[in-house]
Amino acid sequence: MAAPLTSATAGDTPTAREATRAPVNVLLVDDQPGRLLTYRAILEPLGERLVDASSGTEALKRLMEDEFAVILLDVNMPGMDGFETASLIHEHPRFEKTPIIFVTAVNVTDLDRLRGYKLGAVDYVMVPLIPEILRSKVEVLSELHRKRRELEAVNAKLAAANQALQTEKARELEAFNDTLREANAALAARNAALQVEIVQRASAEHRLREADTRKDEFLATLAHELRNPLAPLQNALSIRRLALAGSDDELQDLMERQLALLVRMLDDLLDVARITRGKMLLRRSPTSLQSVLRTAIDSAQPLFTQRGHELVLELPGQDAVLDADPARLVQVFANLLNNAAKYSEPGTPVELRAEFRAAPDPQSQATAPSHVAVQVVDRGIGLSVEDQHSVFDLFRQLDTRVERTHGGLGIGLTMVERIAQLHGGEVTVHSDGPGHGCTFTVLLPCSDATTPVAAPVPAPAPKAPAVPLRVLVVDDNRDAADTLATMVRLLGHEAEAMYDPHTVEAAVQRIDPDLVFLDLGMPGRSGFDVARSLRAQSGRRARRLVAVSGWGQAEDRRRSLDAGFDQHLVKPPDLEAVKQLCEQGHPDRQAEVE
């Protein structure tokens, strides 16, 4: 007997099926009424539409009247038996792909089973029936039919949309051709118009460059502005985490993971905007390649564990020293490892190799290896020749098929290429074709330094303040201000939220806070102006000012420090970051209790 079909979702039961699913038709063919009742009793919990037929002739009639997802067909029927019925069904073009499950009360020979498979049978079930097995087979085939209908509907819509698009393109092309003919006739009549057109073209190119610049600025602004609604969400999750008091909560973990993913996507958008605008700056230092790779592996490890991939390492015995920005290189290799995990079948190995190479320039006189090549090799979906030429293009997805969606914005490999180029290196990809995996190679120049700079020793954790701090939170976004103030209170401090930047000085005189969180992008009066005003107040003790902003580049932090802020907090604020800021206490308040 053929291996039984199983449900597409482990643990899925008929009672757990979604009520909104449209039922499909299931044809039950048997000359014995008792068996038809048995079929119904077993299959009714699936919620599909069950149609009875007591003979092969009646089954053919039912098929002409309606469409069926699966046919349950008795082999031994008087007159026209199951094999003859199946042969007639699949001779008709409409029904040649309709799956048939044969039901038999006697053991069939291998020849009979082969005959049934040739007639279109997908499986056999034996009498007496095992309800769970029969139900699972019909359930899977019904769901496949339902998905096929949905896909056909989507394809029909796409075909109609494509036809409309082609028609519109043809209309636009014809209109454009008409314009060209008129322009050519005018140019033939008047050569003087050529200079006018040159000026117009230059103006058009200028507008295009401006539009491209505005697009990049829009991406950066969009990513920044999206941080504002994320801030109260992150604060609310932090409040909930504090309320849980260390207990495990799967829903909390899920929300925190998804919010962190969204924040990473916004960071990627900001990075792409910086790269395309030429504003990404590298913080170079002598950097250990192996240290970078270890950090990248740690970053990608959760996805590797989730999908069951084994990471195979082939690293040289000697470490490579690079003149590089370690954080950006971690971003490069973590991105490549995550891609390899996402686009490979679960459980397949992924290789990470590194080797020293000579200079890629054949004219170079260097004899010692001057570059290091890092390769990430997977056995995933692979790439066609065309895709290998465009895989590094912005917003390009590796796999856009309906049945395999891996998510992401399509900007990760663009960032990998640009960051490698900023380091004086390059990245290439090779694949033997779809289904044969990919090899991404990052080639980077080695540094003249012999050893990397040692990583800074982490500062000891700050001690909790001896007395609760007085904290003021200023943000025109009420949700962001209220949730951040609530978080501070749950950390054991006094906190007040306010939303009008014009009344901050009065509130500071009234509250005399130790710590002030100031949003920078408030309408009417920025946080920079408020900070300068507070620093200019005379006769007041020093207090710590923390800038809260969606911008977090080095130049943004320098601008905050220049305005008088002590520290810069990027939205959405992390619970640990807020906790550490509060735990630093305040020198004046400490002196009071000492």
CATH classification at residue 67: 3.40.50.2300
Question: Is residue 11's pLDDT more than 60?
Answer: no
- Decide which of 151, 166, 190 is a domain's last residue: 151
The average pLDDT across 460-471 equals 67
Question: Is residue 542's pLDDT more than 50?
Answer: yes
d(CA 546, CA 339): 37
Note whether 501 and 476 are within 8 A (CB): yes
Bridge partners of 353? 314, 375
Q: What is the pLDDT of residue 488?
A: 92
Domain range for 548 is 470-593
What does 471-539 look like in DSSP terms, one character per residue? EEEE-SSHHHHHHHHHHHHHTT-EEEEE--GGGHHHHHHHH--SEEEEES--SSS-HHHHHHHHHH-SS
Whether 158 is covered by a domain: the verdict is no
What does 528-561 look like in DSSP terms, one character per residue? HHHHHHHHH-SS----EEEEEES--SHHHHHHHH
Question: Is residue 210's pLDDT more than 90?
Answer: no
Q: Which residue has the higher pLDDT, 366 or 477?
A: 477
β pairing state of 70-74 and 49-53: unpaired
**CATH number for the domain that contains residue 338:** 3.30.565.10
- Decide which of 151, 181, 205 is a domain's last residue: 151
Say if residue 311 is in the same domain as residue 437: yes
249-288: burial string, b at 16+ Cβ within 10 Å, e else: eeeeeebbeebeebbebbebbbbbbbbbeeebeeeeebbb
Q: What is the pLDDT of residue 366?
A: 53
Say if residue 506 is in the same domain as residue 586: yes
How many residues appear in the chain?
594
Question: Is residue 357's pLDDT more than 70?
Answer: yes
Say if residue 509 is in the same domain as residue 419: no
Question: Is residue 589's pLDDT more than 70?
Answer: no
Q: Which residues contact 307 (CB under 8 A, 6 or more apart)?
A: 341, 342, 344, 346, 347
Whether 278 is covered by a domain: the verdict is no
Beta strands in 310-413 (DSSP E): 311-314, 321-324, 350-357, 371-377
Number of domains in the chain: 3
Say if residue 385 is in the same domain as residue 487: no
Say if residue 436 is in the same domain as residue 314: yes
Note whether 437 and 415 are within 8 A (CB): no
Largest Cα–Cα separation, the chain: 108
Question: Is residue 442's pLDDT more than 90?
Answer: yes
pLDDT tens, position by position, 306-355? 889 999 999 888 898 999 989 889 989 998 998 898 888 898 999 999 99
Whether 538 is covered by a domain: the verdict is yes
Q: Which residue has the higher pLDDT, 362 or 191?
A: 191
Whether 186 is covered by a domain: the verdict is no
Question: Is residue 16's pLDDT more than 50?
Answer: no
d(CA 223, CA 556): 15
Q: Which of 212-221, 236-245, 261-270 is least confident?
A: 212-221
Using CA atoms in the order 352, 357, 363, 365, what is the torsion angle rounded to 10 degrees? Answer: 150
Q: Which residues contact 278 (CB under 8 A, 6 or more apart)?
A: none
DSSP 3-state of 576: helix
Question: Is residue 71's pLDDT more than 70?
Answer: yes
Whether 349 is covered by a domain: the verdict is yes
Note whether 114 and 98 are within 8 A (CB): no
Question: Is residue 138's pLDDT more than 60?
Answer: yes
Whether 189 is covered by a domain: the verdict is no
Q: Which of 62-76, 78-92, 335-349 is least confident?
A: 78-92
Say if residue 307 is in the same domain as residue 432: yes
pLDDT tens, position by position, 275-284? 776 677 788 8
The average pLDDT across 41-54 equals 91
Say if residue 60 is in the same domain as residue 146: yes
Question: Is residue 360's pLDDT more than 50?
Answer: yes
Residue 539 Rama label (left phi>0; alpha psi -120 to 50; beta): left
Say if residue 435 is in the same domain as residue 302: yes
- Decide which of 118, 151, 184 is a domain's last residue: 151
Q: Is 168 exposed, middle or buried (0-12, 13-18, 19+ CB in 10 A)?
A: exposed
The average pLDDT across 208-212 equals 69
The average pLDDT across 288-310 equals 90
